[in-house]
Homo-oligomer: A and B are copies of this chain.
Amino acid sequence: MLNTFSNETIEALLHHRSIRRYKNEPVTRSQLELILRCAQQASSSSHMQTYSVISVTEPDKRRAIAAWAGGQRHVEQAPVFLVWCADLHRFDQAVAGAGGQFEPSLEYFLVATVDVSLAAQNAVIAAESMGLGAVYIGGIRNEMKKVAGLLELPELVYPVFGLCIGVPDEQPDLRPRLPQEAVFHENRYNRDAFGQTIEAYDKTYHTYASSRSGGTKDTTWSIEMRGRTKYPPRQYGDFLRDQRFKLDDGQEDQDD
């Protein structure tokens, strides 16, 4: 018992780890439907509910997405693989049906990205509470346009991340998080907090990485973060503009 306020839900939240290896056991249709009901009950900006979820079961589509995501085999192997999409197409239809129209500005892009994230996190927690494990697949954004084509996404819809779900066949160590002092501020952003905590955190992370790799990995969080910047940046601005998004609000008018 970590804290007198703790309970079953909190214990589950505190023990989250991403699961990439699954037992050869199915996730049932009624489990999946319940997970999605939990997702839909998450808060949504102005009740717009600007997201859609696509379950990918066809092996060819799984294979293609796994490759685009950088060769992540668990995308092929997971009992369930969901693609979570920000979806303003449905909102557009509803507004048009009520005689209105709207411009998909940066604010709508942000709203839909938040909406889909809140819903997906509810799905992860629901799945974990059933004894399932999950991992987000941000790698689908390597090829946002191809994923959208494969899944026949209409205008105003874009894939944000994938999610693998299955019965865990691994129990990785908990990955240490930043110290709370580095993340949590009071009344104003504390610019000194990070500098005061990074050395200790890098040491903690080094110990974790070393232990997890059987002593072969000599790294810190800072080194890992630098490594993250060496990949060519994902670019999907053109695709989003093709999908009708206007992300340049506030820019002075430009000739097209």
Instruction: Please give the residue numbers on chain A whose beta carbons come within 8 Å of chain B beta carbons, in ascending order.
Output: 2-10, 12-16, 18, 30-31, 33-34, 36-38, 40-43, 45-49, 51-58, 61, 85, 89-91, 93-95, 97-103, 105-108, 110-111, 113-114, 117-118, 120-122, 124-126, 129-130, 135-136, 138, 141, 151-154, 157, 160-161, 174-175, 177-178, 180, 182-189, 191, 194-195, 198, 220-226, 228-230, 233-241, 247-251, 254
Question: A28 to nearest B CB, angstroms?
Answer: 8
Known pairs A43-B136, A177-B49; A248 contacts B254 (CB<8 A)? no
Copies in the complex: 2
Cβ-defined contact, A95 with B41, below 8 A: no
For residue A47, which residues in chain B have a CB less than 8 angstroms away from its CB? 175, 221, 224
Question: A127 to nearest B CB, angstroms?
Answer: 10
Known pairs A49-B178, A175-B47, A185-B54; A113 contacts B117 (CB<8 A)? yes
CA distance A160 to B117 in the complex (A): 13
For residue A113, which residues in chain B have a CB less than 8 angstroms away from its CB? 110, 113-114, 117
For residue A101, which residues in chain B have a CB less than 8 angstroms away from its CB? 229
CA distance A191 to B52 in the complex (A): 11
